[in-house]
Amino acid sequence: MSSSTHATLGVRQAQKLKTRQALLDAALRLLEEQSLSSLGLREVTRVVGVAPAAFYRHFRDMAELGVALVEESLGSLHVMIRAVLAEQQEAEEVIDRSVEAVADHVRRHPAHVRFIARERHGGVRAVREAIAAELARFGEEVAAALAAQEVSQGWSAEDVRMLAGLYVDHLVMTASAFLEASPEEGQAIADTARRQLRLISLGRRHWRAA
C-alpha cells in the first residue's frame, strides 16, 4: 500500500516527502480556479490539514512551490514527447500519433496542463522563467529529432530551431485548446490541429525548394 520510497529513505524523510507532495497536490488543485499569484499559503495548508507554519519546512514561499510544480508538470510532458519523437514513421502517421498523444495527455493530467498554460505568462517571474527554460529544452530536443530526419538535409541549424519552435508553440496552443473544450469540441480541435500540422509539414517539404 505504501510507496517504494519507504524502503530506501527512512520513515523520517518519507513522511516529509509525503506532506511536501500533499502540499503540491493541494496547490495544483486550488490552481484550477485561480492563478498562482493569488494563491495563499494558508489556503494550501488548510486543505492539506496542516499548520500554516509547517509550509516553511518545505518552501520559502509560494513562488518556490510554483517552480517545483513546473518541474512536476513538464516532467510528465517530457516523457510523452520523447515517446512520440522516438518513432520513425511516415509523416502522416506521426501527426496522428502526436495529436492523439497530446489529447491523451490533457485528458490524463488536466491540472498540470492548465497550470503550465496559465503560469507561462503569469504574474510570478520565477515560475515564468522556469517554464520558459523547460520549454526551451523541449525545443532543443525536438530540433535534434528533426535534424536527424532526411527531410532536413540542407537545412541550417537556425532554420531547424525555428521549425522546432513552431511545433512546440503549436503543441502548447493545442493542449490548452483541448483544456477548455467539451469532448465533442475536442474532436473538432484534434481535427484542426491535424490539418495545421499537415500544412506545416507541407511547408517543410518545400522549404528552399521553391
Question: Taking contact as CB under 8 A, which single stretch among the options 10-18, 50-58, 86-94, 194-202 is the one that binds its own copies?
Answer: 194-202
Contact call for residue 18 and its own copies (CB under 8 A): no
Options 10, 79, 123, 148; binder of its own copies; rule CB under 8 A: 123
Cα–Cα dist 1/186, whole Å:
36
* Sites for its own copies among residues 139-168 (CB under 8 A): 159, 161-163, 165-166
Q: Which is nearer to DNA, 48 or 142 (CB)?
A: 48
How long a stretch of residues is the chain?
A: 210
The b-or-e profile of 57-77 (16+ CB within 10 A means b, else e) is ebbeebbebbbbbbebbbeeb
Closer Cβ to its own copies, 3 or 38, answer by number: 38
- From its own copies, DNA, none, which one binds at residue 51 (CB under 5 to 8 Å depending on kind)? DNA
Burial class (CB in 10 A: 0-12, 13-18, 19+), 143: buried
Residues 54 and 2: their CA atoms lie apart, in Å, by 23
Rounded distance between C-alpha atoms, residue 154 and residue 147, angstroms: 10
Rank residues 18 and 97 by Cβ distance to DNA and give the closer one: 18
- Residues near its own copies (CB under 8 A) are 31, 33-38, 114, 117-118, 120-123, 128, 132, 159, 161-163, 165-166, 169-170, 173, 176, 180, 192, 195-196, 199-207, 210
